[in-house]
Structure 1
């Protein structure tokens, strides 16, 4: 698993190759294994594989252009009906989204986290595009596919960012 973590990168180019249903399900299963406050599991997902909808989602904002070239996009949603502690769902969905990205790498796929929440304009655009009910909040778009780009290790370790017991000034 450490290799998957070390090699995860945002991949924004995708081959015109179908992603197997089994792999998609494994990615979503990994998302559902994320920790959540009070075990609320406030996530839901939309699997988008329709080229017209992918094209529309790619116009959500300037950092979502590559969505149209992905064979699928998983839309990560927060279900308001599952909120138990105020604001905790944001952390829950972050953990869920990271699990989706890690399992994508594990499955030999490329993926990228395209943030939607908390920008109201982006949330509304995704909601409108996919006819999402009000009790669900669009959190992120995760385009996924096979890519010629490689998930390669880039050492981000920085000892200066580690502090013991108190902040070092």
Structure 2
């Protein structure tokens, strides 16, 4: 699992398309994530339309990378028919991490752009995608071939480990 240590946030992309099979593989990895009571609250919207990508890029102060990506995966969660209604944000976190790791394993770049739990970010994205009432936008993951090399950061901090004595 060395890919975990090689994953980095990628915010700029080459002007090269990402094929549907690759996008599906990334989403498949997301759907392999654990979820509370196996409720799997996720729904995904794959966005390639440049106008829609531009709209999504303005929904948060941090979502500009969406505008230059060839594709974005919008990870949404259902708010109805949930066995564990307090857990969708945790479920979606596991799901998105899986997708980021899978993209990296495929030599693709992505970055986690958080929309939840901020209604002021979620609502414009929901409107841009014309989502049904029972769906909320959790995060947007722009995906593409990285432009430039980028730097992997070692985040290991032994001071944060507390060994039982």
TM-score norm. by structure 1 comes to: 0.93
Task: Give the aligned length.
Answer: 165
Distance 1:143 1:50 in 2: 13
Q: Which runs of 5+ in 2 are unaligned?
A: none
Taking the aligned partners of 2:154 and 2:113, their CA distance within structure 1 comes to 23
Deviations 1:33-81, CA, capped at 9 Å, x for gaps? 0000001111010000000000111001120111100000000000123
Deviations 1:68-106 (A, max 9, x none): 000000000001234211311111000000011000001
Which residue is 2:7 aligned to?
A: 8
Q: Over the residues paired in the alignment, what is the CA RMSD in angstroms?
A: 1.3
Is 1:78 the equivalent of 2:77? Answer: yes
User: Does the Cα contact within 8 Å between 2:9 and 2:111 map onto a contact in 1?
Assistant: yes
Q: Report deviation, 1:4.
A: 1.2
Match of 1:41 in 2: 40
With over 3 angstroms needed to count, the CA separation of the structure-2 counterparts of 1:42 and 1:102, relative to structure 1, is same
The C-alpha deviation readout for 1:110-137, integer Å capped at 9, x for no partner, is 0000000111111101111110111011
- Scaled by the length of structure 2, the TM-score of the pair is 0.95
Counterpart CA distance in 2 for 1:82 and 1:92 is 15
d(CA) in 2 for partners of 1:151, 1:95: 24
1:141 corresponds to: 140
Q: Whole-Å Cα distance in 2 between the matches of residues 36 and 150 of structure 1?
A: 34
| Separation of aligned partners in 1, 2:152 and 2:67 | 27
Contact kept? 1:13, 1:66, Cα under 8 Å:
yes
